[in-house]
A and B are shown apart, each in its own frame.
Chain A
Amino acid sequence: MAEATEYVDAGHAVDQVSLTTVVGTAPQVTRNVTYQRILRARSEPHNWLTYYGAYDGQRYSPLEQINTQNVRRLTPAWVFQCGSAGLQAGATTYAFEAAPVVVDGVMFVTGWDGWTWALDARTGQELWRYRHAIPFDTSLCCGNVNRGVAVANGKVFVVTQNAHVVALDAADGKRIWDKTYGDVRAGESATLAPLVIKDKVIVGSAGGEFGVRGHLDAFNLDSGEHAWRCYTVPKPGEPGSDTWPADGEAWARGGANCWITGTYDPETNLLYVGTGNPAPDFDGAVREGDNLYTDSCIAVDPDNGQIRWHYQYNPHDVWDYDSISEHILFDLDGRKAMAHFDKNGYCYILDRTNGQLIRVFPFVDRITWGDVDPHGKVTPKVYPEKEGDPVHFWPGPAGGKEWTHAAYHPKTGLLYVPVQDVGATATRRRREFKEGIPYWGAGVETDANDMAGCLSAFDPATGEEVWRWRNEVPMCASVLATGGDLVFAGEPTGEYNAFNARTGELLWQFQCGSGHHSSPTTYSVGGRQYIAVPTGWGGWIEGFAPGMLGAPHGAALFAFALPD
């Protein structure tokens, strides 16, 4: 008989973070972050209180310590490195896409595989971390990504790739509540930064490439109780349902996901959300009609989730032209306006009180899919129609601009947009719908050798391009505008750039070692202004810059400042 083993007691497993010098706590800076304070976010420019910096989505900070005169002296103040351990979902396609939120010296930022970090915004020291365990097999159309947090009432709100929304204690990162709001078996996921409006946190679903039915959800900030759900594809009998085939279940697989954070106007009490592509992306024959509310701006009452009005940019889209991009709110000649750069290559200026089109103009050089006339009438010209017949069109499915954000500078009155000038070939291939399986309806290949990009400044009052900074590769990162008459924009090749907001002159550049596909922010601590830049090239590169698929991946957050 074998002798019984006398085991050494290995004890109980510990949090991985306990094997670091992370302190585990952060100052309670978000306890007094209320809806009223977020409404006035721009009045405290040392902070970046919400995803876009303010509800209006301008991605503009009045901070002016770093300006056109001294930006050439900008230098890294600290770097936060965030590598991973073990196998993780989207191991190759992850990207560091977040917008760092900063409150009174504490930065809250998310990584791609369930991470949320609190950092000392002055030193980069990690204060606490939360890691949600993400299933390896989560359905991700375009990579393992997360775009950031919302903060309020002492909490940090974050979504997970497997479609949870989690409230964390901002003081230590411990989970307070956790709600599931999507069905991973249906192909749903979540990637956006939540948005706090009044007593609710609002989130949207991803999964438009899997034939789901898009929706927004709202939860009570403190209790996590579900407040409402707003579907972005109507059921039979509901308003807009006549834009879907009367027979069959195309509506049930219709897409229209809201995978980017909306903007909000407290005066209209409307949340402006862009919706994604219809499904299947490229096979329109199985979903005849305009397919509301795909590829639209929907104006949603945040109190009850009802759609008040909509503007559809791409009726019956067959190019994968999601309209998820931000709607930037600003005043134009005394009119409450908003700007939207659509994947289809056109910029739309709308009246945000009623969705009326004010102006539409192209912002990318090559547009062959069709055109949009000054009244917004869409005329498709080139699109996948015949089974097995390859069709080439510009812009490709990632669009003249993808999700990464434009900015508006109130002092120059200009919009600044990162432009991707890349085409693609789509060949319609009908396929049977199966839940959880990609549902594109085509084979797609984006041009790898013929690509270009630019950072362009447009006057929304005229639609004229005021200046352009040309690049050999697409520009795929969000733009940041500051009171120092600067705009910042990163390149896929790793350079982070500062431009004169009025002339487009390149004033400063730093090579970060990995491409940019995130939303940098700015803040100040102790009177010193910082520019926070997550770098980590990834995501749907094969869609927006396949010629850069082999570029360094990276995973770091740089904070730049002027020398002490």
Chain B
Amino acid sequence: MTTGTESREVPGLFKQNGATIGRLLANGNLGQAEEGPEGRMHARVRIPPDELVWDPEVLVLPHGGDLELEIVNDDDNTHCALLPSNGDSQFIWLVNHSRGTASLNLDGPGYYWYGSPTGNDEGRGLTGAIVVMGEAPPEARLDRPAQPRP
């Protein structure tokens, strides 16, 4: 019989070479993008040493639009990032101890995955999420009374 339990109670799921070979996805830190006066959003993600994880692993944007992202590789290994953006996905190579930037344009609401497409970084833990909050614009919504949501 299978017994349900909180995943946090299982030791070693959220580290490298613990319970699993890599790190279970999408259970890292959560961070918020900041909105500048010009309307563009700004955020920073980094890869800490030997964790093969994005920090924050879940980046939250208050709404769709333009994001300026700083990406820092503090690891002792080389990684990269392939990030979603309207127009084309954005790629950056991240050698050990490097720092770069990316400009992203994303719709909201919804969430998007990004990762480090080298070796199996993505499976080991370097798969992050960008969460975009908000609603569809008023002119796009249905002409109907407000409906119950889950």
Contact = CB atoms under 8 A, between A and B. Distances in A.
Interface of A: 5-19, 85-87, 129-133, 135-138, 160, 162-164, 174-175, 178-186, 188, 211-213, 215, 226, 231, 235, 249, 252-253, 432-437
A186 B88 contact: no
A86 B122 contact: yes
B147 A252 contact: yes
Given A136-B110, A180-B137, A186 B142 contact: yes
Nearest to A253: B147
A218 B114 CA distance: 34
B147 A12 contact: no
B16 to A, nearest CB: 20
A184 B110 contact: yes
A259 to B, nearest CB: 16
Interface in B121-147: 122, 127, 132, 135-137, 139-145, 147
B120 interface: no
Given A10-B100, A15-B87, A253-B147, A87 B115 contact: yes
B89 interface: yes
Contact of A434 (B84, B86, B149): B149
B87 A12 contact: no
Interface string B21-35: 000000000000000
B89 A7 contact: no
Given A8-B95, A13-B101, A212 B150 contact: no
B93 to A, nearest CB: 6
Given A10-B71, A87-B115, A130-B88, A435 B136 contact: no
For the complex of A and B, 8 pairs with smallest distance between CB atoms: A135-B110, A10-B100, A13-B102, A252-B144, A133-B84, A13-B90, A13-B92, A8-B98
Given A86-B114, A87-B127, A182-B136, A433 B86 contact: no
Contacts of A175: 86-87
Contact of A11 (B92, B132, B136, B137): B92
Contact of B97 (A8, A135, A188): A8
B139 to A, nearest CB: 7
A175 B85 CA distance: 12
A88 to B, nearest CB: 8
Given A186-B142, A252-B145, A7 B99 contact: yes
A249 B143 CA distance: 12
Contacts of B89: 15-16, 85-86, 131, 133
B100 A13 contact: yes
Interface string B53-97: 000000000000000000111100000011111111111111111
Contacts of B132: 135
Given A10-B92, A14-B91, A5 B86 contact: no
B122 to A, nearest CB: 7
Contacts of B137: 180
Nearest to B74: A5
B86 A249 contact: no
Contacts of B112: 133, 135-136
Contacts of A253: 144, 147
Nearest to B71: A10
7 contacts: A10-B100, A85-B82, A135-B110, A136-B113, A138-B110, A211-B147, A252-B144
B109 interface: yes
Most buried by B among A6, A86, A182, A235: A86
Contacts of A164: 107
A186 B82 contact: no
